[in-house]
Structure 1
């Protein structure tokens, strides 16, 4: 602010409006756009701040700052709100995630087979179904179990998958170091399995079902894979990728029983 004899002063005031900073140059005449805004919004006029008063003391500008458009929500404000819509939303979101990961799991399996060479991918090739520590395929009677029990089995399998996928990725980094997309898919699959497992666990908690305690990571497969030959390691990796696809698909189907519009 500049004051002097015979000098026309010019004042620039900065204020905050709806989270953004605007700068207004004012020479004593209210701009037309500001007048229109003030009339439409119902805000009162502004007053000039006097020399020697700080901007905080010039309280006339407060009238130009509109209230927040969306006041903060208080989740405790209304205890009468039913938890049912929240539960349905959680189930639907988890079901959508499982559906998306089912597609990714199929892509991972195809990518894995493409980088293993013959006889993988050849018509009629049937690799041995090697046992995997702490993880097996969904049992034939899985679909006949109550939905909460099925989801508990899904969550347990999803919790066991990430360390197995990590072992497969490390072995493939040795066998196929240039297969960068495959390595990235394996890394993503481990992370996605953790995310889906946590989401299923949250659904179980919302349903009031008992959740599992801490579970040790399967270290047996790590030692077996490191000492195994190339072909057994490839077969074991194929088995893990196949189990990942089966359990993610199974989880999608089980959540579909609870999702709005699903079977009764």
Structure 2
């Protein structure tokens, strides 16, 4: 008798706990997640079976967000966010570029790294250091120069890596840094190009293929000898650091909290 009364009370509690009506947000969540939902109590079933599989799947703590609830939310990042992310990337790569330069010098032997050693600043085809008047140009024009330099750097860094693989085959960390630098320069250049597009700046016209200049430099380093090849690699690593640092400074003019 007591068992029958207990089952009757449980059945009564179940009917009070759910009145057969699903909230709208719960119905949407159930349809999206594939849950089967709740079933009404049926005579002769246990409490867990009567509540259905929905009783085994706890509802979310908060209703799921409706992507159409706020039309002001855009899937594309805002311009300010895009600039901030690119600036952060440039700042990080500036540190990596300094580490690459130090690593390169450590593996070249004397006189590299000695106090007072001043290697000749060899010219690099299609790439030079930022001009003295670079900082006085409008920001979009500076960013276009940054993007062009970043596009020219990856094939040059690849040339340096291949030459160092011959001269210092055991310098695995240096070789890895050079490979990473080429990939990072491409990524930063693409991010700067996206910022320029978001700013509505005019795109650059047709440019010479950087790989052609890099191929000419690679052929020249083979016949130039070991020391000139090392000096050229030092020059390329130095230019990489200068242009990444210059890009960071130029993006800082646009980043939130930067100079007006």
Q: TM-score, normalised by structure 2?
A: 0.73
Instruction: Between the two structures, name the one with larger relative contact order (CA 8 Å, sep ≥ 6).
Output: 2
Q: Provide the secondary structure at the position in 2 that maps to 1:186.
A: helix
**Would you tell me which structure has more strand in proportion to its own residues?**
1
Q: CA RMSD in A?
A: 8.3
Give the alignment partner of residue 213 of structure 1, picking from 205, 210, 213: 205
- Residues 106-115 or 45-54, more deviating: 45-54
For the 8 Å contact 1:165–1:186, the answer to whether it is kept is yes
Q: For structure 2, which runs of at least 5 residues remain unmatched after alignment? A: 5-16, 211-215
How far apart in 2 are the matches of 1:31 and 1:53?
A: 25
Q: How far apart are 1:215 and its partner, in Å? A: 4.1
How many residues are aligned here?
A: 243
How far apart in 2 are the matches of 1:232 and 1:81?
A: 55
Closer/same/farther in 2, CA of residues 112 and 69 from structure 1, 3 Å limit = farther
How far apart in 1 are the matches of 2:242 and 2:43?
A: 76
For the 8 Å contact 2:25–2:63, the answer to whether it is kept is no
Closer/same/farther in 2, CA of residues 108 and 52 from structure 1, 3 Å limit = farther
How far apart in 2 are the matches of 1:39 and 1:19?
A: 38
Q: How far apart are 1:223 and its partner, in Å? A: 1.9
- Residues 109-118 or 72-81, more deviating: 72-81
For the 8 Å contact 2:100–2:237, the answer to whether it is kept is yes
How far apart in 1 are the matches of 2:33 and 2:64?
A: 22
Deviations 1:115-157 (A, max 9, x none): 0011111111111100001100000000000000000000000
Are 1:156 and 2:148 an aligned pair?
yes
Closer/same/farther in 2, CA of residues 70 and 160 from structure 1, 3 Å limit = farther
Q: How far apart are 1:56 and its partner, in Å? A: 18
Closer/same/farther in 2, CA of residues 117 and 192 from structure 1, 3 Å limit = same
For the 8 Å contact 2:100–2:174, the answer to whether it is kept is yes
**Would you tell me which structure has more helix in proportion to its own residues?**
2
How far apart in 2 are the matches of 1:120 and 1:76?
A: 61
Q: For structure 1, which runs of at least 5 residues remain unmatched after alignment? A: 1-16
Closer/same/farther in 2, CA of residues 29 and 206 from structure 1, 3 Å limit = closer
Q: How far apart are 1:221 and its partner, in Å? A: 1.5
Q: TM-score, normalised by structure 1?
A: 0.72
For the 8 Å contact 2:143–2:196, the answer to whether it is kept is yes
How far apart in 2 are the matches of 1:123 and 1:231?
A: 18
For the 8 Å contact 1:18–1:65, the answer to whether it is kept is no
Closer/same/farther in 2, CA of residues 132 and 71 from structure 1, 3 Å limit = farther
